[in-house]
Structures are given as structure tokens and as C-alpha cells.
Amino acid sequence: MQLLIRSARIVDAASSFDGQVCDILVDNGLIRQIGNNLPIDANVRVAEADNLHVSLGWVDMRVLTQDPGYEHKEDLTSVCRAAAAGGFTDIAVLPNTQPVVDAKGTLGYIQRMAEGQPVRVHVIAAVTKKAAGEDFTEMLDLHHAGAVAFSDGNHPLQNPDLLLKTLQYLQPVNGLLMNRPEETLLTRFGQMHEGIQSTLLGLKGIPALAEELMIERDLRLLDYVSAGQTETQEPECGFSPALHFSTISTGRSVELIRQAKAKGSPVSCDVAAHQLVFDDSALSDFDTNLKVNPPFRSVDDVRALWDGLKDGTIDAIVSDHTPHDPECKNLEFDQADFGIIGLETVFSNAVMHNQDLPLPQLIEKLTTRPRQILRLPVTAIAEGQPATLTLFDPAGSWTYDRTFSKSKNSPFLGQTLTGRVIGTVHRGQLTTTL
């Protein structure tokens, strides 16, 4: 069945139609024709809306599925439906399931369960067995089985020798190591950002230093590995970092990565969308839906994150989608688990709280850059290219009155938001929120 996207403004710097309002005809999973006033046959499905924009399909680099093992919180079907509702055509899922994705059997289970879903699921495999930070997994086998990257996910790599050897081990296959920077001995029992607010609220703080020390350490190790590299492999995507920092949160972290990039280090990073919205003053009501790790930092840190997005230091915006059931959240603040669901609200968060980041640059953080980092094919909105697209209205308002996630741990439920997803096109099929 054919699909005609009518009068949509194309947002894709790599497309010759960038910035133009055009019709796009999709047939058999490919973009067949782009033009104005394209004719409509009787069997053509039409997608149209006021202020319609279209870009390459959005990619979320950090999603916790909870499947296998914790399907009462989320399963692969519900997480894919939530992702599509949020405008994503591709998601990269963390290995922190039960069992952990540390062997081909679990990786294959996720790949099989993801077949036929409205989004494409890419699996991040564990660096160490059970993500315990001790013994290596069979990373080459997992790489050849389809793992797009390696990370212990919610468990930062504490052992510097493990991180060093992983970088060396993945180098011949142009593999990617992702690490969430946190020195856990400095954050034990921490509940929120360490500062004036944590003192006023009587909560143990999580110092910014814990993140920044790990970034400094990892960058030094990356320099050590890069110095011993004898041959530089030019990737097809044109940008292929060896080390990726997940969910950075402080201004000093941004500056450290900015300096590393300036001297040519193969490094990239992302920020969670909710980190662009809240600072630590938001926790004054002890809302456990706002308890996240890394925690909300200071107003100055939030400003520095936006500056990092604008100058290209921060490559991607992620949801850090972490579903939890009420038993994990309806507790005293210090007893509640960290994490919020975010797949459906990433775009609205970025639009509503935007600090002068142009829309094309914002879309790049959801499309081209994540694809390059994960070594996924980077295409353009052009005739003959695969039709993997996101339809949206950056000025449209909508009410977040329900979620496709099995969990409800979002501070945004019930609110009216700006930045509306109209639908996605994946494998030629339209999934619409209309």
C-alpha cells in the first residue's frame, strides 16, 4: 500500500529538499517521489496535518526495556508502542534485564521479540557477565550476533583496567563502548544533587565530582589507547567514536568533553531530555517521579548542557526511559528507585524548554548523530531512499493523558505539552497518533 505525506516541511540537512514544503510518496518501504501536488490514487493512504514537518526517523540511544525478567514493568511490545508514540523509529536498549544481555541467547530473544514491532530495536550488550564489572563477556561473538554497542548500562564501569582492555578489544572491529560516568564510592546512599537544595531538604547529595572524575579518568584511558593505535579506520558514516558517555549532567563534564573533542579524541556523549528541563529545586516537593540518576543539577549546569548542544559538544538527546511499577516509586523519597519514563515526551521537553537551539540542530540530535554513533546507516530524505521518517508539529500542543508504557512514573502525565508527534513511517508503514 502506498502512502502520501502531503505538504510537509522537510527537516534534513543532507536532503536537497531541506526546508522546503513538499509531498512525499512512499511505496514498498521506499521514498518513490518528492514534489508538489503529487496525484493521489484511490489506494493511497494520505497523511496530512497543519504545520506538518518531516525528518529522518528519530533514534533513542538509551532505553531500558525491562524485558526479559521484569515484564510487569515493561515489555518489548509496550516499549515499542511508547517509542513510536514519541516519534522514534529506532531504539537502542540497555542490557540490564534478567538475565542480563551478556550472551547470544538473550540477545537473540530480544531480536526475535522485536520482529514486527513499529520500531527497530538495536541491542546494547553487556561488557561484563551479569553487568557485575568482573569478567568479560564474549564481546566479539555478541558483536557478530548484532550488538550495536557495549555497556554495563546502569552499572558504570568502575575498574579502569576493564575499561582500558574493552577499548583495546573493540578497536579492531570498530566497536563502541558506552559508559555512564559515576564514581559510585562517592555517591553511595546519595538521593539528589549535592548542593544548597540537598542541605535544605536533608537529603544526602550526589556530588558533581563523582561524574567529572570518571570522565577525566575515561578520557585519559582513551588517550592511552588512541596513542597506541597504528592505523586509523575511516568509517562509512564519517563519525565513529570509540567511547560514548551516557547522560552527562554537569557543566564541567561538558567542558571536559569539549576539550577532548577539540584535540581530536574519538569521543561522543548524550544528555537525557529531562536533564534539560529540571534543576535540583524541582525536588522541593519530594516527588519520587523526579528522582533520577544522574540527578537534576544546578541552574548553571542546565544552561551548560544547552550550550553543549548548541556548539556540538553533546551529540544526542535520549529519553533514559526507565519504567518502574508503583511499588518502586510510591515510597519515601530515599527508598524509591531512580528513573522516569520518557520515550513519549523527549521532543516536547526539548521544544518547550529550548534555550535557542535551532530546530534543524535539535532534529540532528535525534537523527543523524545517534545513527553515526551507533554505526547505523545514515540516509537522507531523497527519492530511492528507505522511508524511515518521523512526522511532527513543533508548535502543536497535546495533552499527555495516557501512556503506552506499562509504568506511569512520569512527572508529565496529565500536562498539556508543546511539540507534537504526528506519526512515524517504519518499513513503509504509518503509525499515527492522530
Query: Taking the chain (434 residues) in consecutive chunks of 10 residues, what is each chunk's mean pLDDT?
Result: 94 97 96 94 91 98 97 97 98 98 97 96 98 97 98 97 97 97 97 98 98 98 85 53 97 98 97 98 97 98 98 98 97 97 98 96 98 96 97 97 97 97 93 78
Q: Please state which of the four CATH numbers 3.60.21.10, 3.40.50.300, 3.20.20.140, 3.20.20.210 is assigned to the domain occupying 57-373.
A: 3.20.20.140
Instruction: Indicate if the alpha-carbon torsion angle 260, 268, 276, 282 is positive or negative.
Output: negative
Closest Cα to residue 266, out of 175, 194, 205? 175
pLDDT of res. 232: 44
Q: Output the DSSP codes for 96-113.
A: -SSS-S-SHHHHHHHHHH
- CB-CB neighbours of 190 under 10 Å: 20
Q: How far is CA 244 from the centre of its chain?
A: 12
pLDDT of res. 238: 55
Closest Cα to residue 241, out of 122, 369, 99, 421? 369
Domain boundaries, the chain: 3-52+385-432, 57-373
Joined together, the cell numbers standing for residue 231 give: 592505523
pLDDT of res. 234: 44
Q: How far is CA 10 from the centre of its chain?
A: 22
Q: Model pTM?
A: 0.96
Active site amino acids = 320
- Asked if residue 193 lies in contact with residue 291, where contact means CB atoms within 8 angstroms, the answer is no
CATH number of 3-52+385-432: 2.30.40.10
Q: Count Cβ atoms within 10 A of the Cβ of residue 26 and give its class: 0-12 exposed, 13-18 middle, 19 or more buried.
A: buried
